[in-house]
Structure 1
């Protein structure tokens, strides 16, 4: 297994694999033929960036049996999803600020992210595994009161696309079995979410296959697998949020009012 990162160092952007607190610098293309350069950098000497630069961020709704049961929602026949704006992305460790135009509830949503590594157009479920590069941690931050503000139109994209509302990382972990993973969300030191990925309605391979029949998936694209029970409001003036997935890592950000 490898943990891939992107970083900024001495004014330049690079990428490599993270081993402990050391980055093994690579050259070429992260998704195709990356080669180690022999250079090593201390993690403390770089600024981590989002581990990929996706052309789109796809976010699932109602993809966990437990949450569907709690909300009394029927299990969907097809993946239900929206697209988040690329401008909402922010880095691991970044501080996210409340939008000046919005004074309602802002919620955390700890999620598993699928990272595409090979262009996928109309791929079968069996072939989908070959198009997945790895997995990452996502906090799908949402301005919850906006979604149903207008009774004639559910505003999912607006609610989830404010600047900073798309932190993910810190790494992309390869050779991970997603069905073995558990997502935990810790808010200000208290665990708020703890749910198994095995409870997903559509598995990672099914998501990649189904969505690739709707649109081409490009290397670096992120599919946020949806969240389960335990979503809640960030109420304090300053909120420390950690999305923890053992086998991948911990995504830490701060949300300030």
Structure 2
């Protein structure tokens, strides 16, 4: 299952991607047609909080739509605006730094490969959806960079989560571009400001439910800039796999439904080139992850 937050004729809704990514089914509207009333929530986070009840309802709705040939409920995907799956996270986005050895080396040396997960965060105001422009922020940075990443969406509350149980706490997976102002990052000697400029966290285009991805630590990932491949790797190259990241974050800190964890970026970022190849106004960024899809955004001209 692929879940979206979408907008159609000024109405924002949670939808299910249908028929090989060609249609979107507004699930609350479909539930109302099926039962005469709709009890589903209006937001993705609230839907995630319902847990298995939400999935059971969506399965029933999807089967009913197909059985009764309710094609009028299906919206062509090109006619809806795909917002970020979680348009306004309740918390900062958790991010893992230097989780691929080659990336750690390209920004420093082998001595920079971490022994423990490096965690920083991005502000909720950074989040935008697919096919939306990233502000160029020329007034504050000359070194805007891309970072294609697999993101984990937490599905249920947990603290002190054991590594062997960690994937049971995952609702699904999406794609994030951890856009970074490298000069701000260097100037302030920490990550938050350089990582939290408005629009610097494109996310989407949807959340793929965890049941569709058996192993998040074995997915091809590729980032293209204007059609040129810059990053190409596989999440099997993680230093810290998804299970360990969740377990470490939950030690003494409660993870909640809708929490978002960006798992780190492979080698090939703009800063890693000699000379560096930072983003320019008008650039098109395409991040593809196996079994999820492609997140596309351009830099404001």
TM-score by length of 2: 0.79
Offset from partner CA, 1:85-110 (integer Å, 9 cap, x none): 00011111101112253142100011
Alignment of 1:246-257 (within 5 A): 246-256=290-300
Does residue 166 (structure 1) correspond to residue 201 (structure 2)? The answer is: yes
Q: Against the structure 1 CA distance between its residues 105 and 51, is the aligned structure 2 distance closer, same or farther, given a 3 Å change threshold?
A: same
The alpha-carbon deviation at position 172 of structure 1 amounts to: 1.0
The alpha-carbon deviation at position 161 of structure 1 amounts to: 0.5
Taking the aligned partners of 1:103 and 1:123, their CA distance within structure 2 comes to: 39
Offset from partner CA, 1:8-56 (integer Å, 9 cap, x none): 1232221122122111232325322222454322212211111124223
Does residue 60 (structure 1) correspond to residue 96 (structure 2)? The answer is: yes
Offset from partner CA, 1:50-93 (integer Å, 9 cap, x none): 11242230111111122234432344232111110000111111
Q: Secondary structure at the match of 2:27?
A: strand
The alpha-carbon deviation at position 120 of structure 1 amounts to: 2.1
Taking the aligned partners of 2:203 and 2:142, their CA distance within structure 1 comes to: 23
1:21 matched residue in structure 2: 22
* Contact 2:154–2:172, Cα closer than 8 Å, also in 1: yes
Q: Secondary structure at the match of 1:208?
A: helix
Alignment of 1:230-245 (within 5 A): 230-232=268-270, 233-245=277-289
* Contact 1:66–1:199, Cα closer than 8 Å, also in 2: no
2:82 matched residue in structure 1: 48
Q: Against the structure 1 CA distance between its residues 238 and 208, is the aligned structure 2 distance closer, same or farther, given a 3 Å change threshold?
A: same
Q: Secondary structure at the match of 1:168?
A: strand
- Higher-Rg structure is 2
Taking the aligned partners of 1:237 and 1:24, their CA distance within structure 2 comes to: 35
Unpaired runs of 5+ in structure 2? 29-39, 41-45, 66-72, 271-276
Taking the aligned partners of 1:198 and 1:99, their CA distance within structure 2 comes to: 34
Alignment of 1:5-16 (within 5 A): 5-16=4-15
The alpha-carbon deviation at position 186 of structure 1 amounts to: 0.4
Instruction: Point out the more displaced range, 58-67 or 29-38.
Output: 29-38
Offset from partner CA, 1:109-146 (integer Å, 9 cap, x none): 11111111111222111221111011111110000011
1:138 matched residue in structure 2: 176
Q: Secondary structure at the match of 1:180?
A: coil
Instruction: Report which of the two has the higher share of helix.
Output: 2
* Contact 2:136–2:281, Cα closer than 8 Å, also in 1: no
TM-score by length of 1: 0.92
Q: Secondary structure at the match of 1:122?
A: coil
1:113 matched residue in structure 2: 151
Taking the aligned partners of 1:120 and 1:207, their CA distance within structure 2 comes to: 13
From 174, 179, 184, the counterpart of 2:222: 184
From 30, 33, 37, the counterpart of 2:47: 30
Unpaired runs of 5+ in structure 1? none
* Contact 2:133–2:300, Cα closer than 8 Å, also in 1: yes
The alpha-carbon deviation at position 218 of structure 1 amounts to: 1.8
The alpha-carbon deviation at position 181 of structure 1 amounts to: 0.4
Taking the aligned partners of 2:175 and 2:102, their CA distance within structure 1 comes to: 20
* Contact 1:234–1:255, Cα closer than 8 Å, also in 2: no
